[in-house]
Structure 1
Amino acid sequence: MSSYVRTTAATVGIAMISIFALLPFYIMMIMGTYQNEDLFQKIVLIPGNYLLENFKTVADSRFDLVYLNSLIVSIASTVLSVFVSAFAGFAFAKHEFKYKKNIFAGVLLTMMIPGQLGLVAYVIEMRSLGLSGTLVPLILPWMANAFGVFWMTQFIRGAVPTEVLESARMDGCSDIGVFFRIVLAFIFPAITTLSLLVFLWSWNNYLLPLIMINKPELFTIPLGINSLGTAYRTDLAAQILGLTLGTLPVLILFAIGSKSFIRGLTAGSVKG
């Protein structure tokens, strides 16, 4: 088999897989252009004429405020999670201290415990601190991201040469200076990968906002989509349009950072 035939076959195969992967998202976008009752009659493949009405329903629900709340929560969660994870990963990977292995094993152990088990205690804690009914409880859990610490530890351990750090320290650079001036340059792919993952997880988080948020003006995207409709009728078409709008930022971020995301994953898999 010639290289041209192999290339053509691979291209056709990838194209078919891409079509099957994108078809559900395409159908989701098309369903947002139909009236609610039409969705139960057939599978829609061509755009309908009810887009403006559905968009008005979404706009009337203060979807812009919901969007803003999700952006605040997701961006703050991402920034805090990445920097705390990077600092902790740097400490575990390049420093020696007492009980280091035991503490790292404790971090890994928390990854095996479902987060839902601690929800009741977390709600009580937030109420005791007077933070219940705010966006802060949606951000704080990401500062203790066990996966992020593990990810950064493995990446820094393999990607950052110890000799470079020792040379910087001999030149009088402090640990903080070493981290910001040297380590960050080496771990940029890992930062991009973890940032995209944390943003996605925070953006799509439904359970924690459902428990912690009871004010409509503080709803995030999942809660805002779920609230579309009336007390007597669930407007699935408007919800699907809201879901489409809520998916766009994630698609844009992955389109922009896809190369760094893949580079971070492959580097971590080889060097970890």
Structure 2
Amino acid sequence: MIAVDKSKRLLIYVFLGILTLLSLIPFWVVLVNSTRSAEQIQQGLSLVPGTNLAYNWEVLMNKGFDVFGGFKNSLIISTCSTVLNVYFSALAAYGIIAYHFRGKRIFFAIILALLMIPTQISMIGFYQFVSKLGLLNNFIPLILPSIAAPSTVFFLKQYLETIYHPDLADSARLDGAGEIAIFHRIMLPLMKPGLATMAIFSFVTSWNNFLMPLILINDTEKFTLPMLIQLLKTDVYRTEFGSMYLGISLSIIPLILIYLFLSKYIISGVTAGGIKE
């Protein structure tokens, strides 16, 4: 039996290793192509880095690719959106779970209904609304709507159902803690795994957001990194694929870093032993 269990475990590890390798290959190909010339890329796939990184960087700069400006704009929008998204969604989810009020089920049903509405439907109306407010070419309409994130509220509400216990809040109230203090000092630390998970998704979604910034922003100095990548126009006689892959590589590096930073918080059993029966 022990030998059989070891064999099964080995097969599982091999299978997971293959899946991990398959998921990493596309990222590696993009990074490798950013170091190769256009002719080398057209010849076929290669997993060995080339020697054209400096040339691709020079071509990228000559095409007006403002790397640092794009990073700054994308970082401002993505960071602010993620913080607002996660915090207010956690606040709403905690309110749904911890308190009993009239219309609670209807309120949650509205959140579920909003999940089914594609964001593209509201783009025209949202553009007209932002235009009347005079907020075109501004980061505000790209940040503030993240406060209302039905998908994040739904996820955190479902997550809280697995970890929340009324005794935690009641004990804090007996010690004289207010409701806001209970949320910040007790509930937020307990929700770290769920918050980290949604922070990753929120940051990636905001960072890769292309259509809405393209509609609302016309000033090139406020372009995000995905918007700058689409400005890499190809020449009539030559397409610089290497510089295009380099621009794409620069845009995915922050996503990898934010995942590596937050993934350690995605663990299970955070509240194990937190309450004694």
After TM superposition, the score normalised by the length of structure 2 is: 0.88
Following the alignment from structure 1 to structure 2, what is the Cα–Cα distance between the partners of residues 21 and 11? Answer: 15
Distance 1:7 1:163, change over 3 A: closer
- Aligned-pair CA distance for 1:211: 1.0
1:209 and 2:216 aligned: no
The answer to whether the Cα contact below 8 Å between 2:196 and 2:263 also exists between their aligned partners in 1 is: no
SS at match of 2:56: helix
- Cα distance in 2 for partners of 1:37, 1:193 equals 41
Contact 2:74-2:224 at 8 Å conserved across structures = yes
What is the rounded CA distance, in whole Å, between the counterparts of 1:6 and 1:157 in structure 2?
34
Aligned residues: 265
For residue 261 of structure 1, the aligned residue among 253, 257, 266 is 266
Aligned partner of 2:137 among 129, 133, 139 = 133
| Structure 1 CA distance for aligned equivalents of residues 96 and 10 of structure 2 | 47
Q: Which amino acid is 2:201 matched to?
A: L
User: Partners of 2:175 and 2:20 in 1: how far apart?
Assistant: 52
After TM superposition, list the pairs within 5 Å mapping 1:236-247 onto structure 2: 236-247=241-252
Distance change (3 Å), C-alpha of 1:102 and 1:26: same
TM-aligned CA deviation for residue 4 of structure 1: 4.2
The runs of 5 or more residues in structure 2 that have no matched partner are: 273-277
- Contact 1:228/1:234 (8 A) holds in 2: no
Tell me the distance in 1 between the aligned counterparts of 2:31 and 2:72.
22
Offset at 1:185?
1.9
Aligned: 1:85 with 2:109: no
Gaps of 5+ in 1: 268-272
- 1:43 corresponds to which of 31, 42, 45: 45
- The residue that corresponds to 2:172 in the other structure is 168
CA deviation vs aligned residue, 1:207-237 (integer Å, no higher than 9, x gap): 1111111111111121111112356465332
1:1-272 alignment runs, 5 A limit:
1-59=3-61, 60-229=64-233, 232=236, 235-261=240-266, 263=268
Are the aligned partners of 1:89 and 1:149 in contact in 2 as well (CA < 8 Å)?
A: yes
Post-superposition offset of 1:94: 0.7
**TM-score under structure 1 length normalisation:** 0.90
Indicate the percent of aligned positions where both proteins have the same amino acid.
Answer: 33
How far off is 1:190 after superposition? 1.2
Could you tell me whether the CA contact under 8 Å between 1:196 and 1:261 is conserved in 2? no
**Aligned-pair Cα RMSD in Å:** 2.0
CA distance in structure 2 between the aligned counterparts of 1:66 and 1:85, rounded to whole angstroms: 28
CA displacement, residues 135-175 of structure 1 (integer Å, 9 cap, x when unaligned): 11211221110011112222223312111212222333221
- How many Å separate the matches in 2 of 1:228 and 1:74? 22
